[in-house]
């Protein structure tokens, strides 16, 4: 792989990664956003796979394969099962911010991500690091999704996006954290999403739905 | 030495495996209490065995210095009290049908995993592994918070998992940035997150990236330590969790998360000077004390009251860490240990009040002293510890923190903290005396105290008094840790 191809693929992956985040903000169907999350997992896995092949680093390729299985198949699969079967449960209930404003906010957050990451790029202006603002933008957008959506599954999707964004940042700026850390983090994310999925099921039993507005008994 | 470092992690995990096979029964509950006691023994032996400044390692992965040893002692002490009390607590919960055998089995598996992960967090040499262990405590405690499966328990669990996971994810982003800066400072990539390596490369870390990392680490670990702005999970989770788990979360988990912050602070202070994190810690700490004090004043639920008292203490610890002197850091560690034992006492006692009344409203509880002397005395002693009354140890630690703040030219922060603490003090005294003193309302139920809880309460009172008399050999350990964390003067 030539350096130009390597850079092009990295930029493409980072672009697709950011695009899926914007589409998740745009869509209100829960099935659709879980599918988009799977696409985002593929774009994320493309980063370590490209880096690994370019630098002939077998360990990194292995990590990329694990990321692909975990974030493009296993975790979206878990969330997909938590969506539920009833028609009313499959769409976002009225979000706090309407779609047009949400997309505008997404644009502002992306610009903000470029501003925040300037010290990172100044320290290491390599092609991969230059793509890091896209990953940072996904982190900010994920936080926005988590505070503006009202369904348990959408919040879980937001959490996964946040984690994807952090993983993408790690792959872009440092070719991934040490293996033992990667292992621990992946296990944690897997269990956290598993717990969120189980809680969604319990919530449906106890409240008859997964609208988070019902969670308002505990307050001061 | 390797054996001593592995013991606090492996023995609780073995206890969890045993509980997974045999379910919740006398034997597995005893083994869990034994595992917690092993953590204490390991901490104590390491403390006695080491010269000042000694560090023990097991391979590349585990490492114990004075801070880890102190935290092991805190985990072991509070863990032993809480797991021993669990025996009577869970039996009563099953008897009153608040939970079933399946719920009890799950409790038996998750509590030792929770203990093992806290030990791993304080023993990990790699700050990435430390992060993973702290996030693992969130996963392990999720279903402990939701133990009773009621609507409110479910609500608390959801908020707890989501807010803590997001908060702690920010800390991971900070860790990644620190890793990036460490590699560019010349550290080999496979050990670039090891604490010793980070410390030796600290002065060469890029200031711009480190500043970004520092902010994220403060917010992230602050979330788990109950500091603003991610503090909202705390009162909900503490009020819904079973009493022994509340004791563990409040008395140990918060301070384990804060010890993670102290760890990274020692690296960041070398890279950026002490000014950057000092400002952050002061803002976050004082705001936390402010929110805790205001909510304590209007509180009508005694478990939430205790949760806000934990927030108040974590806020004070953050302010003390901002002072950053040796005196302040040693005082923080004494404060953490005394607070852990005091919180265990009040939460275990309040668990019995909740079991008797089926309520956690302060207004429903009257005349406890006239009905159960043991519960009332334990609650009162715990409260006196938390209020910083002499002869208990938090009197000494708070005085030291105040002096350290004055020495560090932070008189204004000291003034603000004192004012807010006085408000919190008044609120705790008013609510505490309302519950304990006076005649019981007619028809008040009897307060049953199972044997294991009674013995845990007595042990907690004895430990609180003993620690108030003298910190003994622990004083040297605390000073040692303060030196290690780069305390000035």
Residues B341, B463 contacting (CB under 8 angstroms): yes
pLDDT score recorded for residue B144 = 96
Q: Which residue's entry shows tokens 């598996």? A: B109
Window B:299-328, CB contacts with A under 8 Å: 299, 304
Chain B residues close to A196, C-beta within 8 Å: 161-162
B312 min Cα distance to partner chain A (Å): 16
Q: For the segment B199-246, what is each residue's pLDDT rounded down to a tens digit?
A: 999 999 999 999 999 999 999 999 999 999 999 999 999 999 999 999
Q: At what angle do helices B373-386 and B393-407 cross, to 10 degrees?
A: 10
A193 min Cα distance to partner chain B (Å): 9
**Cα nearest neighbour of A177 on chain B:** B176
Cα B415–Cα B419–Cα B422 angle in degrees, nearest 5: 140
Q: For the segment B316-349, what is each residue's pLDDT rounded down to a tens digit?
A: 999 999 999 999 999 999 999 999 999 999 999 9
Average pLDDT, integer, range A118-127: 95
Considering only the beta carbons, identify the residue of A116, A181, A199 that sits closest to B154: A199
Chain B residues close to A174, C-beta within 8 Å: 176, 179-180, 183, 189
pLDDT score recorded for residue B488 = 66
A99 min Cα distance to partner chain B (Å): 23
A119 min Cα distance to partner chain B (Å): 5
Window B:27-86, CB contacts with A under 8 Å: 61
Q: b/e for A19-33, b at 16 or more Cβ within 10 A?
A: bbbbebbebbebeeb
Q: What does the alpha-carbon distance between residue B134 and residue B222 come to, in Å, rounded to a whole number?
A: 12
Average pLDDT, integer, range B352-362: 94
**Residue B278 touches chain A, beta carbons under 8 Å:** no
Phi–psi pair at B488, nearest 5 degrees: -85, 155
Q: Which residue's entry shows tokens 């460490």? A: B182
Q: Map chain A to HEC letters.
A: CCHHHHHHHHHHHHHHHHHHHHHHHHCCEHHHHHHHHHHHHHHHHHHHHHHHHHCCCHHHHHHHHHHHHHHHHHHHHHHHHHCCCCHHHHECCCCCCCHHHHHHHHHHHHHHHHHHCHHHHHHCCCHHHHCHHHHHHHHHHHHHHHHHCCEHHHHHHHHHHHHHHHHHHHHHHHCCCCHHHHHHHHHHHHHHHHHHHHHHHHHHHHHCCCEHHHCCCCCC
- Does B212 contact A116 at a Cβ distance shorter than 8 Å? yes
Closest C-alpha among B351, B219, B242 to residue B288? B219
Return the number of other C-beta atoms located less than 10 Å from residue A209's C-beta.
17
Average pLDDT, integer, range A191-207: 92
Write out the E strands in B158-272: none
pLDDT score recorded for residue B473 = 86
Which residues lie closer than 8 Å to B268 by C-beta, 6 or more apart?
A: B202, B210, B213, B214, B217, B276, B277
Residue to test with chain A: of B128, B233, B271, most A Cβ within 10 A: B128
B469 min Cα distance to partner chain A (Å): 38
pLDDT score recorded for residue B108 = 97
**Residue B295 touches chain A, beta carbons under 8 Å:** yes
With the C-alpha atoms ordered A98, A101, A104, A110, is the resulting torsion angle positive or negative?
negative
Q: For the segment B120-174, what is each residue's pLDDT rounded down to a tens digit?
A: 999 999 999 999 999 999 999 999 999 988 999 999 999 999 999 999 999 999 9
**Cα nearest neighbour of A186 on chain B:** B132
Residue A124 has pLDDT above 90, yes or no: yes
Q: Which residue's entry shows tokens 């806020």? A: B315
Q: What does the alpha-carbon distance between residue B165 and residue B30 come to, in Å, rounded to a whole number?
A: 32
pLDDT score recorded for residue B325 = 94
- Does A195 contact B161 at a Cβ distance shorter than 8 Å? yes
Report residue A150 as tokens.
């009202």
Closest C-alpha among B110, B150, B1 to residue B64? B1
Confidence of residue B24 (pLDDT cuts 50, 70, 90): very high
Report residue B214 as tokens.
């520092």
Report residue B126 as tokens.
């790699």
Residues B147, B241 contacting (CB under 8 angstroms): yes
Residue A183 has pLDDT above 60, yes or no: yes
Considering only the beta carbons, identify the residue of B142, B155, B175 that sits closest to A215: B155
Window A:174-193, CB contacts with B under 8 Å: 174, 177-178, 180-181, 184-185, 187-188, 191-192
Residues B345, B457 contacting (CB under 8 angstroms): yes
Q: What does the alpha-carbon distance between residue A104 and residue A110 come to, in Å, rounded to a whole number?
A: 10
Helices and strands: H and E segment counts in chain B:
20, 2
Residues B353, B302 contacting (CB under 8 angstroms): yes
Task: State the first-to-last Cα distance of chain B, in angstroms, to the nearest integer.
Answer: 32
**Cα nearest neighbour of A172 on chain B:** B180
Q: What does the alpha-carbon distance between residue B366 and residue B434 come to, in Å, rounded to a whole number?
A: 7
Percent residues over pLDDT 90 in chain B: 92
Classify strands B62-64 and B56-58 as parallel, antiparallel or unpaired.
antiparallel
Residue A100: exposure state from Cβ atoms within 10 A (0-12, 13-18, ≥19): exposed
Average pLDDT of chain A is 93
Least confident of A136-150, B45-59, B434-448: B45-59
Residue A4: exposure state from Cβ atoms within 10 A (0-12, 13-18, ≥19): exposed
Chain B residues close to A169, C-beta within 8 Å: 173, 176
pLDDT score recorded for residue B247 = 97
**Residue B272 touches chain A, beta carbons under 8 Å:** no
**3-state secondary structure at position B301:** strand
Chain B residues close to A173, C-beta within 8 Å: 176-177, 180
- ipTM of the complex in this document: 0.97
Considering only the beta carbons, identify the residue of B129, B158, B180 that sits closest to A180: B129
pLDDT score recorded for residue A218 = 86
Chain B residues close to A144, C-beta within 8 Å: none
Average pLDDT, integer, range A82-87: 79
Q: Which residue has the higher pLDDT, A78 or B472?
A: A78
**Residue A205 touches chain B, beta carbons under 8 Å:** no
Q: For the segment B95-123, what is each residue's pLDDT rounded down to a tens digit?
A: 998 999 999 999 999 999 999 999 999 99
Average pLDDT, integer, range B452-456: 97
Rounded to a whole number of angstroms, the CA Rg of chain A reads: 18
Residues B355, B92 contacting (CB under 8 angstroms): yes
Confidence of residue B8 (pLDDT cuts 50, 70, 90): very high
pLDDT score recorded for residue A95 = 75
Beta bridge partners, B124, equal B62
Window B:156-195, CB contacts with A under 8 Å: 156-159, 161-162, 165-166, 169, 172-173, 175-177, 179-181, 183-184, 189-193
Q: For the segment A40-83, what is each residue's pLDDT rounded down to a tens digit?
A: 999 999 999 999 999 999 999 999 999 999 999 999 999 999 88
A209 min Cα distance to partner chain B (Å): 12
Percent residues over pLDDT 90 in chain A: 78
Residue B489 has pLDDT above 60, yes or no: no
Q: What does the alpha-carbon distance between residue B97 and residue B91 come to, in Å, rounded to a whole number?
A: 10
Q: What does the alpha-carbon distance between residue A79 and residue B165 come to, in Å, rounded to a whole number?
A: 16
- Does A202 contact B136 at a Cβ distance shorter than 8 Å? no
Chain A residues close to B192, C-beta within 8 Å: 178
Q: What does the alpha-carbon distance between residue B257 and residue B300 come to, in Å, rounded to a whole number?
A: 28
Q: Count how many pairs of residues, chain A against chain B, have C-beta atoms within 8 Å.
A: 140
DSSP code at position B472: T
- Does A177 contact B209 at a Cβ distance shorter than 8 Å? no
Q: What does the alpha-carbon distance between residue B94 and residue B440 come to, in Å, rounded to a whole number?
A: 28
Average pLDDT of chain B is 95
B349 min Cα distance to partner chain A (Å): 22
Window A:15-54, CB contacts with B under 8 Å: none
């Amino acid at each position: 792989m030539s350096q130009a191809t390597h850079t092009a693929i990295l930029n493409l992956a980072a672009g697709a990664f950011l695009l899926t985040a914007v589409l998740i903000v745009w869509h209100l169907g829960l099935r659709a956003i879980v599918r988009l999350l799977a696409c985002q997992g593929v774009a994320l896995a493309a980063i370590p796979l490209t880096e690994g092949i370019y630098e002939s680093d077998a360990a990194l390729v292995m990590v990329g394969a694990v990321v692909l299985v975990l974030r493009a198949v296993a975790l979206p699969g878990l969330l997909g099962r938590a969506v539920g079967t009833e028609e009313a449960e499959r769409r976002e209930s009225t979000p706090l911010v309407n779609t047009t404003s949400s997309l505008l906010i997404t644009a502002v957050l992306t610009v903000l991500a470029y501003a925040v990451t300037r010290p990172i790029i100044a320290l290491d202006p390599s092609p991969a690091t230059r793509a890091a603002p896209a990953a940072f933008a996904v982190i900010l957008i994920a936080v926005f999704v988590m505070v503006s959506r009202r369904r348990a599954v959408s919040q879980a999707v937001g959490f996964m996006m946040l984690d994807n964004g952090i993983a993408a940042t790690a792959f872009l700026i440092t070719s991934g954290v040490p293996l033992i850390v990667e292992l621990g983090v992946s296990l944690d994310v897997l269990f956290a999403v598993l717990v969120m999925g189980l809680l969604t099921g319990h919530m449906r039993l106890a409240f008859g739905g997964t609208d988070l507005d019902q969670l308002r008994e505990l307050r001061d | 030495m390797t054996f001593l470092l592995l013991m606090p992690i492996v023995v609780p995990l073995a206890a969890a495996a045993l509980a997974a096979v045999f379910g919740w029964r006398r034997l597995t509950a005893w083994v869990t209490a034994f595992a917690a006691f092993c953590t204490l023994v390991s901490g104590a032996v390491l403390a006695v065995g080491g010269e000042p400044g000694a560090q023990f390692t097991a391979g590349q992965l585990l490492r114990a210095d004075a801070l880890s040893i102190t935290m092991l002692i805190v985990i072991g002490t509070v863990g032993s009290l809480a797991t021993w009390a669990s025996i009577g607590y869970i039996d009563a919960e099953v008897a009153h049908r608040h939970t079933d055998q399946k719920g009890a089995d799950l409790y038996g598996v998750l509590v030792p995993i929770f203990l093992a992960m806290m030990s791993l967090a304080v023993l990990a040499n790699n700050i990435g592994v430390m992060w993973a262990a702290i996030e693992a405590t969130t996963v392990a405690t999720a279903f402990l918070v939701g133990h009773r499966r009621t609507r409110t328990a479910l609500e608390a669990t959801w908020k707890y998992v989501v807010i803590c996971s997001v908060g702690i994810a920010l800390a991971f982003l900070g860790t990644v940035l620190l890793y990036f800066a460490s590699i560019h400072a010349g550290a080999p990539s496979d050990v670039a997150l090891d604490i010793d390596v980070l410390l030796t490369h600290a002065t060469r870390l890029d200031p711009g990236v480190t500043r970004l990392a520092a902010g994220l680490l403060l917010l992230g670990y602050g979330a788990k330590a109950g500091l603003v702005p991610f503090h909202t999970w705390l009162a909900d989770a503490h009020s819904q969790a079973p009493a022994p788990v509340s004791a563990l979360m409040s008395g140990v988990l918060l301070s384990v998360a804060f010890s993670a912050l102290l760890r990274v602070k020692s690296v960041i202070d070398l890279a950026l000077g002490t000014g950057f994190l000092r400002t952050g810690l002061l803002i976050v700490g004082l705001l936390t004390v402010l929110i805790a004090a205001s909510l304590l004043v209007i509180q009508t639920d005694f478990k939430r009251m205790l949760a806000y008292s934990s927030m108040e203490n974590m806020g004070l610890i953050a302010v003390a860490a901002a002072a950053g002197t040796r005196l302040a850091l040693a005082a923080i560690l004494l404060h953490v240990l005394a607070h852990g034992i005091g919180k265990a006492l009040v939460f275990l006692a309040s668990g019995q009040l909740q079991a008797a009344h089926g309520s956690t409203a302060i207004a429903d509880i009257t005349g406890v002293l006239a009905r159960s002397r043991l519960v009332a005395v334990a609650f009162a002693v715990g409260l006196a510890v938390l209020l910083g009354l002499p002869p208990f140890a938090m009197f000494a630690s708070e005085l030291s923190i105040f002096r350290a703040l004055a020495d560090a030219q932070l008189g204004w922060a000291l003034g603000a903290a004192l004012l807010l603490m006085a408000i919190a003090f008044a609120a705790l005294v008013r609510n505490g005396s309302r519950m304990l003193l006076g005649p019981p309302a007619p028809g008040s139920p009897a307060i049953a105290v199972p044997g294991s809880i009674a013995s845990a309460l007595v042990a907690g009172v004895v430990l609180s008094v003993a620690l108030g008399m003298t910190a003994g050999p622990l004083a040297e350990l605390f000073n040692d840790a303060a030196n290690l964390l780069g305390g000035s003067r």
